[in-house]
Amino acid sequence: MMEGLTDGALYENTLQALETAGSLVNLNPNALERLKTPRRAIVVSVPVRMDDGKVKIFPGYRVQHNQTLGPFKGGLRYHPHVNLSEVAALSMLMTFKNSLMGLPLGGAKGGVQCDPNQLSKNELESLTRRFTTELGPFIGPDKDIPAPDVGTDAQVMAWMLDTYSMESGYCQTGVVTGKPVEIGGSQGREAATGLGVVYIMEKALEKRGKKLDGATVAIQGFGKVGMHAAIEADKLGAKIVAVSDVNGGLHNPEGLNVSELVKYIKSEKTIKGFKDASSIDNKTLLSLDVDVLAPCALDSVITEDNVDEIRADIIIEGANGPTTINAGKILYEKGKIVAPDILANGGGVVVSYFEWVQDISWLFWHEEEVRQKLKTIMHRSFDAVWDFSKEKDVNKRDSAMAVSLKRLEKAMKLRGQAW
């Protein structure tokens, strides 16, 4: 196993999930062994001349896990805690997510160890352009297609596109996704992950004989995912009774005015102080008696310590890993529906795939077409996970991984890999 990968809990947990799901489908041991280790791990130094004239070196990473199904695909994050082990685990999860969603893409992840909030716009641009140059030989529309992640956005992707295109000698819009619409981005990309959460919410409620219209929903996190999940669920008639951000939460049993809250947060940068709602903390939000709880912020917020306080019948994981493995098992034993992150927050990569397809074909779709295609894929993926779960009597997280591995194993066998 590659040096430096085995020192992270996330990587070890991902391996454990792989082995558990592999046993459910009797995964070929050679395929299992191959999937445990990334194909390639790239470590680079990113020198940046700071505004004070000094040169600072930032460590950068790109881990390309598997490309059996197609080109590598996955986000780039700018964060102080980015390290090789973390991006290796996330690259593996991207392989499984892309397979589960039925996309012709492999898994990758990367990032730079930095605090983007401490960098000026000029420093951020310099960092991005140099990082793109260092990754240049390994990325491209038919090789590896990065996308935004924690600490990166459409502007960062625009700089990457420009740098790669300059060095190629012509415009290559398909090298990254999550770009502004004006330079090859897709309609509907910004809301995609949150909208995907809502489509999975619809299917889970349907299994309980309920509809989204009139259902009560609590959303932990009001960022890129949580805010759009609230907006989209509200449009479809759901009653958003609680939301939260880093400064605390809001609760209104009659339902929050989501459109007014969105306007408020855009001006105030926080939900704190919003009228027509009482203040609650995150702990209280998680224990509200609602139809659906959607943790869309941090990992490991539902644990063995608070799992007995969870009263929601349905948990939709908009964040990565918000429910610990043991807590998930307890929720399953209680008969609750937990839609795992690998399924629930897959909307972002699905629409990233749509963007890539539009870029390489130079044919762009209207937003309604994007939304309808996304709904079809999210519902189809949910059905596959649900059916496997019922057939094998296992929780939805293991089922999602198992469905993903079955497709990967078949593709690996057809290509003659690891046999």
Q: Is 142 helix (H, G, I), strand (E, B) or coil?
A: coil
Strands 72-79 and 106-113: what pairing?
Answer: parallel
User: pTM of the full predicted structure?
Assistant: 0.93
Kindly calculate the radius of gyration of the chain based on its CA atoms and give it in whole angstroms: 21
- pLDDT at residue 275, as a whole number: 87
* CATH for the stretch 9-15+25-175: 3.40.50.10860
CA distances from 384 to 26, 390, 401 (A): 18, 10, 11
Q: What is the pLDDT along the chain (419 residues), one digit of tens a residue?
A: 444 444 467 788 889 889 999 999 999 999 999 999 999 999 999 999 999 999 999 999 999 999 999 999 999 999 999 999 999 999 999 999 999 999 999 999 999 999 999 999 999 999 999 999 999 999 999 999 999 998 999 999 999 999 999 999 999 999 999 999 999 999 999 999 999 999 999 999 999 999 999 999 999 999 889 999 999 999 999 999 999 988 899 999 999 999 999 999 999 888 988 988 999 998 999 999 999 999 998 778 999 999 999 999 999 999 988 998 889 999 999 999 999 999 999 999 999 999 999 999 999 999 999 999 999 999 999 999 999 999 999 999 999 999 999 999 999 999 998 66
Instruction: Please tell me the number of Cα atoms within 13 Å of 29 on its side-chain side.
Output: 0
Rounded to whole angstroms, the Cα distance separating 210 from 222 reads 25
377 vs 327: CA distance, rounded Å: 28
User: β-strands 248-251, 40-49: how paired?
Assistant: unpaired
Domain boundaries, the chain: 9-15+25-175, 192-339
* Geometric angle at alpha carbon 233, from 230 and 234, rounded to 5°: 80
Name residues whose C-beta falls within 8 Å of residue 305's C-beta, 6 or more positions apart in sequence: none
- Residue listed under structure tokens 């700071």: 50
Angle 296-91-338 from CA coordinates, rounded to 5°: 35
Query: DSSP letter string over 292-340?
Result: EEEE-S-SS-B-TTTGGG---SEEE--SSS-B-HHHHHHHHHTT-EEE-
Tens of pLDDT, residues 366-411? 999 999 999 999 999 999 999 999 999 999 999 999 999 999 999 9
* CA trace torsion 189, 195, 196, 199 (10° rounding): -150
Type of residue numbered 245: D
Vertex 275: Cα angle to 271 and 278 (nearest 5): 80
Predicted confidence at residue 247, as pLDDT, reads 86
Query: Which residues are annotated as catalytic?
Result: 109
Task: Give pLDDT tens digits for 100-144.
Answer: 999 999 999 999 999 999 999 999 999 999 999 999 999 999 999
Contact assessment for residue 103 and residue 349, using Cβ atoms and an 8 Å cutoff: yes
Class of the domain covering 192-339: alpha beta
- Fold matches, 9-15+25-175 and 192-339: yes
For tokens 């309604």, name the residue: 368
E strands, 202-309, are 216-220, 239-245, 248-251, 278-280, 292-295
pLDDT of residue 419: 64
Residue 19 has which token pair?
């082995």
